[in-house]
Amino acid sequence: MDKLIITGGNRLHGEVVISGAKNAALPILCASLLTADTLHLSNVPSLKDISTTLKLLAQMGVQSQWGNPAELTLNAANVTSLEAPYELVKTMRASILVLGPLLARFGEARVSLPGGCAIGQRPVDQHIKGLTAMGAEIRIEHGFVIARAKRLKGATIRTDMVTVTGTENLLMAAVLAEGRTILENAAREPEITDLAELLIKMGARIQGHGTDRIIIDGVERLHGAKHRIVADRIEAGTFLCAVGAAGGDITLRHAAPDTMGAVLDKLQEAGVSIECGPDWIRGHMNQRPKAVGFRTYEYPAFPTDMQAQLMALNTIADGTAVIAENIFENRFMHVQELRRMGANIDIDGHTAVVKGIPELSGATVMATDLRASASLVIAGLAASGQTTIERIYHLDRGYEHMEVKLRQIGADIQRIKQDPA
Ligand code: UD1
């Protein structure tokens, strides 16, 4: 397994090109199952989760081809299997996103039930509840969700909690259902808006995306479309936390600041000076960060996917920050590793109290999940001496060439390739 070696202390200067959003690309790739025509996508990030999704789609018969960098075409004219096997679902929970499209277009799907994962239990009961309300017969057998429906029927569905992939699955099911579906308590994340915009280009009739009430009038069939994936707001936020912790002056290109309000507010509170244009963000930091407390909630509030990174910034801040994680029950695994670097953090249930110290000290640490890994990189950039981050395959699931982008702006960071054997 590869590892990263960082020598901390360098200030960051220069430009970073932000990639397309992983969490928008994953449902959009699965939306290719909704039509026999070709989808032409651009700004698709090159990530492990994307190649896993392409593998999953390929074994169903979907053909995909990379063109120019970040351009991908997908065609699902000859789907031969309606099954998502355990081997792929266990490595990526978002595989559940094939359930809605398969059921809507082919009337049948067999998707392995994802297990728990490092950050929490993450059940898919709401996906099942919604599809059942649309007339699907669903049973769980031998670890698979087995779903059948002649043609899904529009329904009013109110999920018990706000769920991102749940909203996406139900949206993709509803576009081909008979009649009107209303999704109440829908998630409002920009990645859902991006998916809805693609579906509309494919011929779907959708209103209210980006709000908590999405209205979908089902159509008989969808056609091909061209679409550019929205910028990754979490990657952009991660680089801004890095400059907040290490100091310097960076400009992010191809970013989407209008999707990042809560994160930009908190960074400014921490002392990072932020300037934005329509698709760029400049972050400039010349002082020790100030402690900033925050609570994670659904969009447009502060995202759980940025909690670990802003916590890393708080470990070296002036003051004490109280951080509440309200989305996942077990998303503080980076805390133990940050403590190995000297951080002063107390956890009580879903709240962490971070007392800032003047400087972290480099150590050998272990990445435990995707965003936890990013927080360790940020800590390593600001720490004195050398930090070794092991098990960085998590990072490769969601960040495109992170160490290359960081080196371009002056970080001392190396990947050590290790043979799996
Ligand atoms: C998505 C994102 C992930 C992000 C998360 C929250 C993708 C591929 N992943 O994950 O990066 O951290 O949103 O912003 O887009 N829940 C249930 N039953 C369900 C569905 C969800 O109990 O059927 C619970 C979950 O356990 C969790 C909460 O609802 O506590 C929110 O989860 P959800 O929004 O569904 O997260 P994901 O879509 O899996």
Q: What is the pLDDT of residues 289-328, one digit of tens each?
A: 999 999 999 999 999 999 999 999 999 999 999 999 999 9
Q: How many residues are listed for the chain in this entry?
A: 421
**What does DSSP say about strands 38-42 and 225-228: parallel, antiparallel, or unpaired?**
parallel
Q: Is 164 in the pocket of ligand 1 (CB under 6 A)?
A: yes
Tokens representing residue 222 in the block:
């969808």
Q: Which of 161, 171, 375 to mutate to test the pocket of ligand 1 (most atoms within 8 A of CB)?
A: 161
Q: Give the pLDDT of residue 272.
A: 98
Catalytic residues: 117
Q: Which atom of ligand 1 is nearest to the CA of 370?
A: 11
Sorted by sequence, the CB contacts under 8 Å of residue 421 that are 6+ apart come out as none
Sorted by sequence, the CB contacts under 8 Å of residue 335 that are 6+ apart come out as 311, 343, 345, 347, 352
**Of 5 and 419, more confident:** 5
DSSP 368: -
pLDDT digits (tens, 9 = 90+) for 168-195: 999 999 999 999 999 999 999 999 999 9
Question: How confident is the model over 193-217, as a mean pLDDT?
Answer: 98
Question: How confident is the model over 136-156, as a mean pLDDT?
Answer: 95
Where do we find the tokens 């799996």?
Answer: 420
| Whether pLDDT at 235 is above 80 | yes
Q: Give the pLDDT of residue 185.
A: 98
SS3 percent helix, strand, coil of the chain, rounded to 5, is 35, 30, 35
Q: Is 53 in the pocket of ligand 1 (CB under 6 A)?
A: no
Q: How far apart are CA 10 and CA 246, in angstroms?
A: 7
Cα distance between the two ends of the chain: 9
Using the mean position of ligand 1's atoms as its centre, give its distance from the Cα of residue 339 in Å.
27
Q: Is 375 in the pocket of ligand 1 (CB under 6 A)?
A: no
Q: Which atom of ligand 1 is nearest to the CA of 49?
A: 8
Where do we find the tokens 């150590």?
Answer: 363
Where do we find the tokens 């000290």?
Answer: 361
Q: Is 350 in the pocket of ligand 1 (CB under 6 A)?
A: no
Cα angle value 417/51/59 (rounded, 5°): 130
Residue 1: band (very low, low, confident or very high) from pLDDT cuts 50, 70, 90:
confident
Question: How confident is the model over 261-285, as a mean pLDDT?
Answer: 98
**What does DSSP say about strands 63-66 and 83-84: parallel, antiparallel, or unpaired?**
unpaired
Q: Give the pLDDT of residue 116.
A: 58
Q: Give the pLDDT of residue 122.
A: 76
| Whether pLDDT at 420 is above 90 | no
Q: Give the pLDDT of residue 231.
A: 98
Say if CB 282 and CB 15 are below 8 A apart. no
Question: How confident is the model over 249-263, as a mean pLDDT?
Answer: 98
Q: Give the pLDDT of residue 330.
A: 84
Using the mean position of ligand 1's atoms as its centre, give its distance from the Cα of residue 248 in Å.
34
Q: How far apart are CA 309 and CA 307, in angstroms?
A: 6
Backbone φ and ψ for 396, nearest 5 degrees, come out as: -70, -20
Residue 123: band (very low, low, confident or very high) from pLDDT cuts 50, 70, 90:
confident
Q: Contacts from 273-281 at CB under 8 Å and sequence distance 24+? A: 274/240, 279/231, 279/253, 279/254, 279/255, 280/251, 280/252, 280/253, 280/254, 280/255, 281/236, 281/240, 281/251, 281/252, 281/255, 281/257
| Whether pLDDT at 277 is above 90 | yes
Q: How far apart are CA 341 and CA 89, in angstroms?
A: 34
Residue 421: band (very low, low, confident or very high) from pLDDT cuts 50, 70, 90:
low
What percentage of the chain reaches a pLDDT higher than 70?
A: 98
Strand ranges inside 59-103, DSSP E: 63-66, 72-75, 83-84
Using the mean position of ligand 1's atoms as its centre, give its distance from the Cα of residue 352 in Å.
21
| Whether pLDDT at 115 is above 80 | no
Where do we find the tokens 């959003």?
Answer: 21
| Whether pLDDT at 149 is above 90 | yes
Q: Is 29 in the pocket of ligand 1 (CB under 6 A)?
A: no
Residue 66: band (very low, low, confident or very high) from pLDDT cuts 50, 70, 90:
very high
| Whether pLDDT at 56 is above 60 | yes
